[in-house]
Structure 1
Amino acid sequence: MICPKCGKEIEEGKLYCEFCGEEIKIVPDFDPEIENSITQILSDVADEAIEWQSKKNAEAESDTSDTDEDSDEDNRLRKEFLTKNLKAVGIMGAIFIVLILAFGLLWFFLDYRYTNYEYQLDKAGKHVSKGELREAAETYRHIIELKGHDSLATYYLANVNLAMGDEESALLLYKEVVADDSAEIDLRYNSCKSTVDLYVARGNYKALSDFLMAVGDNDITNSFQEYKCSEPDFSYDEGTYEEIIPLKLSSKSGGDIYYTVDGSTPTTESETYSSPIFLESGDHVVSAFTLNSYGVESRIVSKKYHIDADVPLTPEVLTYSGDYTSPTLIEVEVFEGTRVFYTTDGTDPTSSSMEYKGPIHMPLGKSEYRFITYNELGECGEITSRNYNLNIKTNVSIEAAQKAIVDGMIEINKIYDADGRSMEIYGRYLYLYQYVTNIDNAGDFYIIAEIMEDENGVRTRTGALFAVGLYDGKRYRLGLDEKNDYVFFEF
């Protein structure tokens, strides 16, 4: 059998040419003997018809006396002619039916293969394995046309197009599979990964981010979060508020957030978000965008806020002036968006004074505290003053408490004299009173701090603290547990 495309000899019964891959359409040949038989039968029928017609004409010219004999002869000849003709027609009809059936079966076989999904998919795979990419692509397109839509064939076609260097067509086909919710999850994931790889190879991270953001957050894109660039989320919706709000910005994809609060367009030269933005009384337009690690910028998001809040600028000191006979904490309420500063020497505080960070231990004896509040605009209110007199009747003086700690340090060889000199450092250790306090379930204590003083007189806290009982003079080393509560240790 000869291949109609390449002309090479191939084995009988082969459906494809093993040399060029051409599909072989098999058409059964006529049997020469049958063909000769048909020709002979038709020739005999024609000869007999001519002979019969000649006899009939001759008999018509003969004597009328022979009419009866001629009539009998005519009937005999007519029967012989009809019998032979019927046999010939029967043979020809049978042959025709056989040919029709043969052609029908062949057509059914060829059409079945042409429209069978598994056969065509296998055929395309064989083309790919042989490196016949164009034939494979044509077969995959044929499969898609047959089914109207097929994600598997589309994915394979994308792979073939990519192998042939047609990246744009491959991208479109991969995206088509990713967008197909009816496709298997693994097929969609592989298509998504191929799309990501193509964009990364091109360095087109902006298009990659747009693609992933369009797909959304799901099992398909979760592995590629690093390439996304989500626009900033605002912790407060835009609108009117009757209090200062701490606006927080965040991005699901991570990255740096740049923002402005005056309505101007933010750039990478704008403020970088790192902590809540306190919006005070007035009108604000906050605009922000995200910049991911690949240099991709998100869409700019802007929100408008109107804040109508009266910020109290006068400090509210919760511990009132007066006489006290037990350890007491001085507490101040600090309003959101403000900072409180204070002095202890009777001078007026400023923003350069000590900042209130938490409760203050009231010192022994008389003291005067002055407090002032500043908002984020640098505006300050009136000064609030408090006068205290803490008078505790103790059995142990401050000096005795300090000496008790010094003696303890000498006993454990931390220092070798009352001046605090030590073999460990150039300088000395000082043990100085800090404040009195009540420690839950333990009583009232002097708190003594260890301070290192170098040869130049510079003092540095070591962080070590000690406690001496106000009434019994017992001394302890202090530590803090996981709850930040005091823990006592014996010397």
Structure 2
Amino acid sequence: MKCSNCGKEIRVGSVYCEYCGKEAMIVSDYNVLEDEVLHSLLEDDDAFAKRQAALKRKQEEMEKQNAINESEENDDVKKTGNAFLDNIWNIKKNRIIFIISCVVLVLFIAAILFFTSFRFKMIQGSSLDSKAKYEEAIEVYKEALDKRKDSVEARVALGKDYIITEQYDKAEEILLEALSLDKESVDVYKALIVLYTASNDTEKLLDLENNAPNSTIKKLFETTVVTAPKASVKGGKYKEDQEVKLICDNDSTIYYSTDGTTPDKVSGKLYTEPIKIESGDTTLKAICYNKDAEKSAVMTEKYQINYEAPDYPTVSPGSGHYDSPTSVRISSDVEGAKIFYTWDGSIPTASSEMYYGPIDIPEGNNVLSVVVVDKHGMTSNVFRANYEYTP
């Protein structure tokens, strides 16, 4: 066996080492080389473990760094991709905005061109005609004519409105211009026929017919022209209300106005009974429509009704002295008039005594005052008579 202290061989069973004097312990054979190798191995294992741990940490750090790098690369790729997509979208968006802007601009320009165009002016004028706004329509048709100076259509429309508003000279001028531009226009001839019929210019109407360029135009003169209505009472000054009857062709319908405006089917009143013209100034206008909705020229009559105060009443007997009961009779030639009187000399009013029949003269000295009030409320001058009755 060996001493555990000095390592020398000692006898088996020795308690103390004979070499070093140390207490001997029973141990297995000890090999220094093996011990060193074992120690070295133990040290190597520890170093190896440390190296392995270091390598593992480094590997983990590398993996972590790689993961970070990969993430950053992915982020860069995503950012690059997103930037690319954003760039494409911005390009598309700009193109869309550009296209929309171009479309809006084109529509805007087209709208401006349309609303200032000849055709729009003609449509606008026709719309005004349908609302009986003829003066406004005339101005619009003039604008249309400025845009297309050789237009027969605009001249005919303008001429018709001149006829309706009784501007016959202007109508003839513009329609003859249209005829010079198109000598075979049916519309121009129709308008001229209406013009010369409305203005009662038979000579020009016959001349127009004689110079008709073809059979189609000549047939226009065979068609019955819608004549303007006639009034049973001519315009003028009158002292009493007037009842006016309007007369037109059998198949025609009459529309009229009493405020000076030009009537039509929309704005006019349908004539069904005589029209009563009362106090003041009244302008009566009327127009006829035949069964084909063709209209005549406008008839115009102006009336001035000025009521006059009624004359004095007739009173019998007259002033005087009476010594027996006497009755006074009062009368007036004014149809529908009322008579009022007083016995005290005051001016009679509508609240005074109304005369119904002979009235007795009161006793004493009396002043009889009498007035006549007609159906329009006009009052005569005061008639006075002095009666003295002494029984």
The reply to whether TM is greater than 0.5 is no
Per residue, is there more strand in 1 or in 2?
1
Name the structure with the higher helix share.
2
Higher relative contact order (CA 8 A, sep 6+): 2
TM-score, with length taken from structure 2: 0.28
